[in-house]
């Protein structure tokens, strides 16, 4: 018979890893699943300046510290994605490689995945000039020119990061104003290597084997033109990774998981934590808070069904 864990945590980002730490402290037999590198969005973030206690820390370093914390507690971890969570008193988790795991409670902490621009040649030239991770690929653009699409915190922070390598960084936004907070705007807009093209959207990636330009459309004049560039970094928001629970009727219309103040979904024993949830502020500090609450509430739930 399959082993039954107390708690399965899906996703080893800040929310999932914190849940793991709290679950271990509560004595729960816990298994964590991760389909990529531990750290979630942290490993794609150059620098963090709003993590209390560290005025500046690299995302990769913080991810590593959190992961070392979980490994020091010997939290069992499987590096595989979860395809589907079947709801029952004992939940069954189907992995992407065809295995099943059972647990009394589940915390979904799968975060979000970057939105694509959905324009011609984007897929074909991803990895050949189109990149969704400045931290991973920025160094390939030494002495080159790059374009960042989007005006949120991610776009502006990564644009500043790219100035270490690129000679010129152009940010393209579709409105006149940025969505990013004031500090991020100041850092980016004061930078001598950064310029901004406003009320403009990307309509095609241009290039044969590698990106040579991005085709842009000015939304005021309707003019379309090719803007030469060596690299394109889209940072246009993200979509919740919730396909494993899509059949459970626990999502809002945008696909984020609906949870209450105890991080509980309406399915008993199924919790959410971090960016995957409907919430007003997606930050590392709020993700770790969610993880702690979810683990503690899962602990109480497991006690109640014994």
Can you give the binding site for ligand NDP, defined by CB under 6 A? Answer: 50, 149-155, 157, 173-175, 179, 201, 235-238, 282-283
Extract the runs of DSSP E, i.e. beta strands, from 56-131: 57-58, 76-78, 82-86, 91-95, 100-108, 112-114
Q: Is residue 277 annotated as a catalytic residue, yes or no?
A: no
Nearest partner of 41 among 17, 9, 25, 7, judged by Cα: 17
| Of 108 and 155, CB closest to ligand NDP | 155
Count of beta carbons in the 10 Å neighbourhood of residue 122: 18
Residue nearest to ligand NDP (CB): 152
Q: Count the Cβ atoms, other than its own, within 10 Å of residue 141.
A: 22
The residue written with tokens 């990895």 in the block is 127
Strands 57-58 and 47-48 come out as: antiparallel
Is position 133 annotated as part of the catalytic site?
yes
Residue 271, H or E segment:
strand 270-272
Nearer to ligand NDP, 233 or 299 (CB): 233
Q: How far is the CB of 206 from ligand NDP (least distance, A)?
A: 17
- Residue 150 CB, nearest distance to ligand NDP (Å)? 3
| Nearer to ligand NDP among residue 20 and residue 150 (C-beta) | 150
Residue 282 C-beta: closest distance to ligand NDP, Å? 4
Closest distance of CB 161 from ligand NDP, Å: 11
> Contact at 8 Å (CB) between 197 and 216?
yes
Residue with tokens 């033109």: 225
Of these residues, 137, 230, 275, 290, which one is catalytic? Answer: 137
SS3 37: coil
Least distance between ligand NDP and beta carbon 237 (Å)? 3
Choosing from 2, 49, 136, 252, which is the catalytic residue? 136
By beta-carbon proximity to ligand NDP, the closer residue of 1 and 220 is 220
| CB closer to ligand NDP, 20 vs 274 | 274
| Euclidean distance between CA atoms 160 and 216, whole angstroms | 22
Nearer to ligand NDP, 7 or 184 (CB): 184
Min dist CB 160 to ligand NDP, Å, is 11
Exposure string of 51-74, with b = 16+ CB inside 10 Å and e = fewer, is beeeeebbbbebbbebbeebeeee
Q: Are 43 and 63 in contact (CB under 8 A)?
A: yes
Q: How many alpha carbons fall within 13 Å on the CB side of residue 257?
A: 32
Q: Which residues contact 250 (CB under 8 A, 6 or more apart)?
A: 257, 258, 265, 266, 267, 270, 272
Please state the φ and ψ torsions of residue 150, each to the nearest 5 degrees.
Answer: 120, 155
Point out the residues that are catalytic.
Answer: 133, 136-137
């Amino acid at each position: 018979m399959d082993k039954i864990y107390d708690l399965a945590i899906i996703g080893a980002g800040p929310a999932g890893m914190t849940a793991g730490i709290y679950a271990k402290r509560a004595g729960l037999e816990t298994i964590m699943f991760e389909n990529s590198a531990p750290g979630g969005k942290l490993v794609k973030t150059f620098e963090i300046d709003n993590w209390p206690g560290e005025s500046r820390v690299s995302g990769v370093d913080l991810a590593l510290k959190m992961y070392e914390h979980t490994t020091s507690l010997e939290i069992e971890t499987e590096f595989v994605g979860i395809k589907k969570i079947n709801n029952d008193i004992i939940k069954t988790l189907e992995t992407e490689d065809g295995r099943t795991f059972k647990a009394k409670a589940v915390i979904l902490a799968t975060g979000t995945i970057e939105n694509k621009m959905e324009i011609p040649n984007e897929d074909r030239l991803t990895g050949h000039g189109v990149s969704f991770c400045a931290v991973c690929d920025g160094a390939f653009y030494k002495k080159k020119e790059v374009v960042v699409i989007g005006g949120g915190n991610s776009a502006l922070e990564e644009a500043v990061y790219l100035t270490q390598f690129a000679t010129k960084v152009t940010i393209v936004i579709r409105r006149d104003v940025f969505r990013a907070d004031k500090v991020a705007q100041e850092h980016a807009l004061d930078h001598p290597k950064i310029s901004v093209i406003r009320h403009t959207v990307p309509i095609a990636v241009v290039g044969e084997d590698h990106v040579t330009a991005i085709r842009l459309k000015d939304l005021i004049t309707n003019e379309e033109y090719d803007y030469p560039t060596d690299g394109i970094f889209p940072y246009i928001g993200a979509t919740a990774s919730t396909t494993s629970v899509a059949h459970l009727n626990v999502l809002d219309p945008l696909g984020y998981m609906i949870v209450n103040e105890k991080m509980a979904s309406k399915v008993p024993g199924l919790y959410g934590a971090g960016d995957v949830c409907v919430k007003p502020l997606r930050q590392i500090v709020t993700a770790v808070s969610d993880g702690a609450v979810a683990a503690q509430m899962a602990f109480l739930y497991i006690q109640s069904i014994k």
